[in-house]
Structure 1
Amino acid sequence: MALRFEHRDTEIDVSLVDRVWRTRSDTEETMTSAARTCWHLIFARARGRLLAGLRGPETRATTAPVPPGTEFLGVRFAFGAVLRPHRAASVVDGYVPFPVTESGRIIIGGTGWEAPTFENVEQFVRRLQDAGLLVRSRLGDEEPVAEHPEAGPTERTRQRRYRALTGLSRTTVGQIDRANAAATLLRDGRDWRTVVDTLGYFDQAHLGHALRRYVGHTARELRAGHVASMSFLYKTHPGPGS
């Protein structure tokens, strides 16, 4: 049985948190995880045991085993949000597990935190923010002062800062976001020609290559809905981040 994701908006500033989600696995299976430009905090409970960790941005689609009888809770943070001391560049295509005490408290930044629930994630996030562990960083896109353009950062400096904060180049972010947008359109029933025209792909082959690399499924599979369990697709704003 395919995983069914439930997700919701959040009361937290959208510049920090984009989405909250949860799902449950009843049987052992595998899941396709689409490439992502944002990072997640993921909490899993199985047989009374709590696991927690940070899933970094993913530059390609991957397949992962899903253990049975496990409840998952996830928080997708906005593009540009930073959890100190974990730099995004250090967790690209990676996972950082957090220690969990015998009493079920999660150790982040040297402090034990009560595990959140789907309903009270906002409280958990605000506490991290108040402790100075969760911050929103400028991505180096600030415009130079009109009267003194030479006072602004150079393009090379902007690109270096962007990669340092997000772990990805602007080009990679654009490619991943576009592939996820294409997958969403196809899943919603659009044909490949419409997707190519709408998102600026060169042709069907160009679209197909992007889908295989970043989403892990073909256009036909996405349109038909005959795909194995995969991370859900959504985009809540027009800017970068998916």
Structure 2
Amino acid sequence: MRFEHRDTDIDASIVDRVWRTRSDAEETMTSAARTCCHLILSRTQGRMLASLRGPETRASTTPVPPDTEFLGVRFALGMVLRPHPAASIIDGYVPFPVTDLGRIVIGGEDWEAPTYENVEHFVRRLQVAGLLVQSRLGDGEHVTEHPGASLTKRTLQRRYRAITGLSQTAVRQIDRANAAATMLRDGLDWRTVAERLGYFDQAHLAHALRRYVGRTARELQAGDHAAMSFLYKTHARPGS
């Protein structure tokens, strides 16, 4: 499977990336941990399926049906597709009904399915309808340790987890491991990666890669990532 992906003209705080791929034969794929939700459409033998995939807390193996086209929209951290907050679908997904005419039912309304080229139009329509909303994660808000004076650190942490389904620490660890995998794939040695990203040593980096990416540093450097979810440099996001 070869992934094609692109930026959009939508603000990166709303949509981080759009991607597509196609499977030729039945196989499995290693899916790296991720902090954001994906809207995923798949088409096979004239049938379309649609689902919202939640954040994943560790790498997993996913079956891939043959002769299937996939389209994915990666929403930015803090975006909520109502009525399915990320916290409700951690390590899981929610399927959306698809009508006989190939329209996706979200929020009780049916929507024309997006294509790789016109995702922006689809996203903007969901925003106008109030189904896709951006939640505040607490960045820039005044924090105090004194209850009642303002928002406490603990209150902000609870809000963050309620919106994203993850702690800020988990988000940092997952994003850092994916960044490490991208750097290793691009040819950097493990010592440079560990130093730049703050890993203590090779064992610390190796543990993170096994847990969150499902590949070793040697496998990534050797280019053994054809059967895994794509890796790319993501935009800076709130809470990263």
What TM-score do you get using the length of structure 1 for normalisation? 0.94
Among 20, 28, 37, which residue is 2:18 paired with? Answer: 20
User: How far apart in 2 are the matches of 1:152 and 1:142?
Assistant: 13
Cα distance change on mapping 1:145 and 1:86 into 2, 3 Å = closer
1:198: how far off?
A: 0.6
Describe the SS at the equivalent of 1:103: coil
**Structure 1, unpaired ranges of 5+:** none
Cα deviation 1:96-134 (Å, max 9, x = unaligned): 000011111110000000111000111110110000000
Describe the SS at the equivalent of 2:17: strand
Among 4, 14, 27, which residue is 1:29 paired with? Answer: 27
Residues 1:8 and 2:6 are matched in the alignment: yes
| 1:171 corresponds to | 169
| 1:184 corresponds to | 182
Among 44, 50, 69, which residue is 1:71 paired with? Answer: 69
Cα distance change on mapping 1:142 and 1:51 into 2, 3 Å = same
Among 30, 33, 42, which residue is 2:40 paired with? Answer: 42
Runs of 4+ in 1 over 4 A off after TM superposition: none
| 1:61 corresponds to | 59
Alignment check: 8 A CA contact 1:192 1:204 kept: yes
User: How far apart in 2 are the matches of 1:180 and 1:231?
Assistant: 11
User: How far apart in 1 are the matches of 2:155 and 2:224?
Assistant: 45
1:143: how far off?
A: 2.4
**Structure 2, unpaired ranges of 5+:** none
User: How far apart in 2 are the matches of 1:59 and 1:129?
Assistant: 27
Describe the SS at the equivalent of 1:179: helix
User: How far apart in 2 are the matches of 1:241 and 1:35?
Assistant: 17
User: How far apart in 2 are the matches of 1:120 and 1:228?
Assistant: 27
1:240: how far off?
A: 5.2
Question: What aligned pairs does 1:44-193 form with structure 2 within 5 A after superposition?
Answer: 44-144=42-142, 151-193=149-191
User: How far apart in 2 are the matches of 1:39 and 1:234?
Assistant: 16
Q: Give the counterpart letter for 1:114 in structure 2.
A: E
User: How far apart in 2 are the matches of 1:238 and 1:49?
Assistant: 36
Cα deviation 1:135-168 (Å, max 9, x = unaligned): 111002332299xx97430000000000000000
Q: Which moved more, 1:136-145 or 1:116-125?
A: 136-145
Q: Which moved more, 1:221-230 or 1:170-179?
A: 221-230
Number of residue-to-residue matches in the alignment: 239
Q: Which moved more, 1:220-229 or 1:179-188?
A: 220-229
What TM-score do you get using the length of structure 2 for normalisation? 0.95
Describe the SS at the equivalent of 2:210: helix
1:241: how far off?
A: 7.5
Cα distance change on mapping 1:239 and 1:116 into 2, 3 Å = closer
